């Protein structure tokens, strides 16, 4: 099938979803009020709570959620065929991710921009807050570990991309200072900054940066040294005010994202390439993981992702100028990530074999088994993007560096946001446990937020993608289901129809708990001691916490449903925030 047909159909469905379904959610389910005073105004502090133009908030939100995961997950999942992967991306984006991201943001704004885990205390029960925070802690830890490995792998494998990525940091700080001090629009300076970044790509090819000599001199692997430096950077970056680095770099990266999507989609149109991968791959080795239910956790970000609820309620809700901006930021952000997942599928199902004499045979060689598909996912994506770029007369070697810069930039932004979120989560858990040093000192919780995932990131072999990614995907989707549970109870308590939230909620909880059981058996019987003695117990703990929280949510929903006919909808008071 021509890849352009797949592209046009999916983008048309996304456009219809935003035009009609998000409007229904905004008016009938979440009842957005343009006069409501958002926490960005009521708690403005110039650091975290900052009323911000919706386009800049969208940039931060979109780039924070669109890290490496919507690229890696679909790039792995086409192993089962592009048909199942694409179907989940489309349906998951429109009917699950849009509802989840939009709803998490709307509920957080109505609860003083508190995290979705803390809101669970008010909406479900006090126990639910602790349970949810523990699950989120595990999720963010794995996010921070996996994304650091993605960046380190690309730095190590594509040293030409290091210089353009490093230049982005001082440029973003400069843009942040300029925009914040002069109170001016960020559009022009951020475009100029992006042009400078891309001007550094040919310079990076002339002067590739590698840590091999330094790593050899101090007696460690270069890959490990990259991970160390990445976490040192994130420690400091997560402490800076959002307007200084996070927001301006997000805005720069949004332009980069749009350019990357344009290159991929235009490359598909110009090249008129066909899908080399089969719609359904029936030629998979015996013993390969079953696509049902594991497809729905392999593609996490890009269909629906619990990490988005943490960003929505952790940083985005603190910057929302008007409540009605939640539709544009939340639902459109989900569609943007779905589009990135679509591009990943196109790159790995069509672009990666563009120049082969026998595209199907070439593709089969890249996806011989699930481990190979997992280990080469990012490489397949960058090669596919480079081949699409070549349709636009961009040299393949430049296209590979371009794609690597894109992936690194997105992963680094998500990592910065996730470390900041982990600091919030550690402080909330410490507050419950009454550990005063962690609640009153920013340095110690930030240090913990860095050191714990660092321990996972430096595990030997292909631990990050070969094993940790599986549990990350499951925990991520489970978090999405639990966030939807909070949103469903809140919607019901406000006497609105929760069906749009309940359908993706039930599906996600079913698939993820099922996947947790499948993975528990695999981990417990694996020959690898890391899987047996680290991941199997962790899987069991997460499963137990999930079941407990599901029961708590079910009880709360039942009470809310019983009471909905006895009380009118909660009126909106625009002069204050709800607590």
pLDDT tens digit string along 398-442?
999 999 999 998 888 888 888 988 888 898 889 888 888 888 888
Contact of 98 with 484, CB cutoff 8 Å: no
In terms of residue numbers, what domain contains 236? Answer: 3-564
Rounded Cα–Cα distance for residues 28 and 427 (Å): 35
pLDDT of residue 164: 95
- d(C-alpha 288, C-alpha 292), whole Å: 12
What is the structure's pLDDT at 179?
A: 85
Query: How far apart are the C-alpha atoms of 225 and 241, rounded to whole Å?
Result: 27
Q: Is residue 571 assigned to a domain? A: no
What is the average pLDDT value for the chain, to the nearest integer? 89
What band does 567 get if pLDDT is binned at 50, 70 and 90? low
Give CA 331 to chain center in angstroms.
Answer: 14
Prior bond of 293 cis (ω within 30°): yes
453 has a pLDDT exceeding 50: yes
Where is average pLDDT lowest: 147-151, 248-252, 513-517? Answer: 248-252
pLDDT tens, position by position, 506-534:
999 999 889 889 989 988 998 888 788 88
Helices (H), 183-305: 187-206, 212-218, 222-237, 247-271, 291-298
What is the mean pLDDT of the segment spanning 199-217? Answer: 94
pLDDT in the model for residue 578: 45
**Cα–Cα dist 372/369, whole Å:** 5
In a domain? residue 573: no
CA distances (Å), origin 191, targets 171, 250, 252: 11, 12, 7
- Residue with more model confidence, 275 or 122: 275
Query: Where is pLDDT greater, at 56 or 388?
Result: 388
Q: Which residues, listed in sequence order, are joined to residue 2 by a DSSP beta bridge?
A: 274
Q: Is the pLDDT of residue 277 over 90?
A: yes
CATH code of residue 107: 1.20.1740.10
Higher per-residue pLDDT: 43 or 421: 43
Higher pLDDT, 470 or 406: 406
* Tally of domains within the chain: 1
> What is the rounded average pLDDT of the residues 447-469?
82
Share of the chain above pLDDT 90, in %: 54
In this predicted structure, what is the pLDDT of residue 209? 95
pLDDT given for residue 363 in this prediction:
94
pLDDT value for 259: 92
pTM over 0.85: yes
Residue 575 counted as domain residue: no
Predicted confidence (pLDDT) at residue 229 exceeds the cutoff of 90: yes
315, part of any domain: yes
> Among 45-59, 94-108, 178-192, 465-479, where is mean pLDDT lowest?
465-479
348-372 in b/e form (b: 16+ CB < 10 A) is: bbbbbbbeeeebeeebbebbeebee
- Comparing 38-42, 450-454, 472-476, the range with the smallest average pLDDT is 472-476
CA-nearest of 312, 412, 375 to 97 is 312
158 assigned to some structural domain: yes
Higher per-residue confidence, 128 vs 232: 232
Does some domain include residue 331? yes
Q: For residues 312-329, give the mean pLDDT.
A: 92
Nearest to residue 476, comparing CAs of 344, 297, 319?
297
Percent composition of the chain: helix, strand, coil (DSSP 3-state, to 5): 75, 0, 20
Q: Is 300 inside a domain boundary?
A: yes
């Amino acid at each position: 099938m021509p890849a352009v047909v797949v592209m046009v159909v999916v983008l048309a469905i996304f456009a219809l979803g935003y035009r009609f379904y998000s409007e229904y959610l905004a008016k009938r389910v979440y009842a957005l009020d343009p006069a409501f005073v958002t926490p960005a105004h009521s708690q403005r502090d110039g650091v975290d709570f900052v009323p911000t133009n919706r386009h800049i908030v969208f940039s931060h939100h979109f780039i924070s959620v669109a890290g490496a995961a919507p690229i890696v997950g679909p790039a792995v999942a086409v192993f089962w065929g592009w048909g199942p992967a694409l179907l989940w991306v489309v349906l998951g984006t429109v009917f699950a991710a849009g509802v989840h991201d939009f709803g998490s943001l709307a509920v957080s704004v109505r609860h003083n921009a508190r995290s979705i885990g803390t809101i669970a205390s008010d909406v479900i029960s006090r126990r639910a807050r602790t349970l949810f925070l523990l699950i989120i802690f595990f999720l963010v830890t794995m996010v921070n570990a996996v994304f650091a490995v993605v960046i380190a792998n690309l730095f190590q494998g594509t040293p030409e991309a290091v210089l353009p990525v490093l230049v982005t940091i001082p440029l973003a700080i400069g843009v942040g200072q300029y925009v914040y001090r002069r109170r001016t629009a960020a559009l022009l300076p951020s475009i100029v900054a992006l042009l400078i970044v891309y001007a550094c790509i040919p310079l990076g090819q002339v002067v590739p940066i590698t840590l091999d000599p330094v790593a050899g001199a101090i007696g460690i692997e270069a890959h490990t040294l990259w991970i160390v430096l990445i976490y040192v950077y994130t420690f400091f970056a997560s402490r800076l005010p959002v307007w200084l680095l996070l927001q301006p770099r997000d805005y720069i990266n949004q332009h980069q994202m749009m350019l990357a999507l344009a290159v991929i989609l235009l490359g598909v149109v110009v090249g008129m390439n066909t899908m080399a991968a089969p719609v359904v791959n029936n030629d998979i080795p015996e013993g390969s993981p079953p696509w049902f239910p594991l497809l729905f956790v392999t593609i996490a970000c890009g269909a629906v992702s619990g990490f988005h609820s943490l960003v929505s309620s952790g940083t985005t809700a603190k910057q929302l100028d008007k409540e009605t901006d939640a539709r544009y930021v939340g639902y459109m952000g989900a569609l943007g990530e779905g589009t990135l997942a679509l591009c990943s599928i196109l790159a790995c199902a069509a672009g990666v074999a563009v120049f082969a004499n026998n595209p199907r045979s070439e593709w089969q060689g890249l996806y011989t088994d699930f481990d190979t598909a997992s280990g080469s996912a990012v490489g397949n994506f960058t090669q596919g993007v480079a081949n699409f770029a070549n349709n636009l007369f961009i040299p393949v070697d430049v296209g590979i560096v371009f794609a690597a810069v894109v992936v690194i930039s997105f992963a680094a932004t998500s990592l910065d946001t996730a470390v900041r979120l982990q600091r919030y989560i550690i402080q909330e858990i410490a507050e419950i446990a009454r550990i005063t040093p962690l609640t009153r000192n920013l340095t110690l919780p930030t240090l913990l937020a860095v050191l714990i995932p660092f321990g996972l990131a430096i595990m030997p072999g292909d631990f990050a993608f070969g094993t940790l990614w599986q549990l990350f995907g499951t925990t991520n989707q489970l978090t999405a289901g639990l966030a939807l549970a909070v949103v469903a109870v809140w919607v019901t308590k406000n006497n609105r129809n929760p069906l749009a939230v309940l359908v993706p909620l039930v599906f996600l909880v079913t698939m993820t708990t099922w996947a947790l059981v499948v993975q528990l058996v695999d981990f417990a019987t694996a020959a690898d001691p890391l899987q047996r003695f680290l991941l199997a117990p962790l899987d069991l703990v997460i499963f137990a916490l999930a079941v407990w929280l599901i029961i708590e949510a079910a009880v709360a929903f039942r009470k809310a449903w019983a009471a909905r006919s006895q009380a009118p909808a909660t009126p909106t008071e625009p002069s204050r925030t709800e607590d």
